[in-house]
């Protein structure tokens, strides 16, 4: 069986079929029906289409992008001019922000703001 496509959302939608809100959900057509909906695990097992569905997970479970080496000061200034910055694990964050993995922006780490 091939891996289902994974989608990370800050809020995992509740099940369109039974209304249950779970840690994870599936975006899938309803078997024999054709229209798409969000499904909990139990409904997906009964009515889902694993061949075309997406697996929806909370964004806190998203694996971090590959960490980069410490950026140059010029690189950070470039980001700051755009009102953004990279966290130490490679996520894009606010200049004074912390990403969903708890990593601080380079501007914070390097004491620039």
Residue of the chain from 30, 56, 76, 91 that contacts Zn ion (CB under 5 A): 91
Stretch that binds Zn ion, among 29-37, 46-54, 66-74, 81-89 (CB under 5 A): 81-89
Task: State the minimum distance, in angstroms, from the CB of residue 14 to Zn ion.
Answer: 8
Residue of the chain from 7, 13, 14, 17 that contacts Zn ion (CB under 5 A): 17
Q: Tokens 């922006």 — which residue? A: 105
The dihedral region occupied by 90, where left means phi > 0, alpha psi between -120 and 50, and beta the remainder, is left
Q: Minimal CA–CA distance to 44: which of 59, 60, 56?
A: 56
Q: Which of residues 28-57 bind Zn ion (CB under 5 A)?
A: 40, 43
Any idea how long the chain is? 113
Residue of the chain from 18, 45, 52, 113 that contacts Zn ion (CB under 5 A): 18
Q: In angstroms, how far is the first alpha carbon of the chain from the final one?
A: 49
CB 113 within 8 A of CB 95: yes
* Residue 109 touching Zn ion (CB under 5 A): no
Residues found near Zn ion in the complex (CB under 5 A) = 15, 17-18, 20, 40, 43, 64, 89, 91, 99, 101, 103
């Amino acid at each position: 069986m091939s891996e289902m496509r994974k989608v990370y959302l800050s809020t995992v939608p509740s099940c369109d079929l039974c209304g249950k809100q779970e840690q994870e959900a599936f975006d899938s057509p309803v078997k024999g029906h054709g229209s798409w909906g969000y499904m909990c695990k139990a409904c997906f097992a009964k009515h889902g289409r694993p061949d075309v569905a997406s697996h929806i997970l909370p964004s806190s479970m998203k694996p971090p992008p590959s960490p980069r080496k410490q950026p140059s000061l010029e690189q950070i200034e470039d980001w700051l001019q755009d009102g953004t910055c990279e966290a130490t694990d490679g996520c894009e964050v606010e200049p004074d922000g912390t990403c969903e993995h708890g990593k601080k922006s380079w501007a914070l780490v390097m004491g620039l703001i």
